[in-house]
Structure 1
């Protein structure tokens, strides 16, 4: 059972990196630093969007509008950190 929890913790950590990469990529794309007509860049952007948007969309609906600032990745990362702490502190020690 601990092996499964370790895998869940690893997946949550990797997803945190995907969220950070998606946020950085969106900034690079918005400020026109990366060439959006490049097929490799477009594929990376679409992959990051497809991985993060299903989770970020419900958070965006519930957050108030702050103009051009999107705080949904921060809220999601904080939620992941909370879930990781719950697993490490309360579930993991009680599993045999």
Structure 2
């Protein structure tokens, strides 16, 4: 069962990394440091969008409209961190 705990923690770490990378890329694209017309940048951006949109979508439907400010990544990061805390506090259940 310890391996199940480690797999869950790994998945949460990967999701955390993807969200952070997506947020940083969105800033760089908005400040025109990165250009979506470059093939490599575009592929990474659209890949991250396809991976994270199923997670962001339900959160965006619940959150009120913030007129241009998207706080869905922040809410999802808090949720991932909360799941990590719950898993770590209940690690005895995995033994």
User: What secondary structure is seen at the aligned counterpart in 2 of 1:52?
Assistant: helix
CA distance in 2, matches of 1:44, 1:71: 21
Aligned to 1:80: 80
Q: Which residue of 2 aligns with 1:7?
A: 7
Q: Which runs of 5+ in 1 are unaligned?
A: none
- What is the number of residues matched between the two proteins? 95
Deviation at 1:94, TM superposition (A): 2.4
Structure 2 SS opposite 1:70 = coil
Query: Could you tell me which residue of structure 1 aligns to residue 17 of structure 2?
Result: 17
- TM-score relative to the length of structure 1: 0.92
Q: RMSD of the TM alignment (CA)? A: 1.0
> Aligned runs of 1:11-90 on 2, under 5 Å?
11-90=11-90
- TM-score normalised by length of structure 2: 0.93
Query: Which segments of 5 or more consecutive residues in structure 2 lack a partner in the other structure?
Result: none
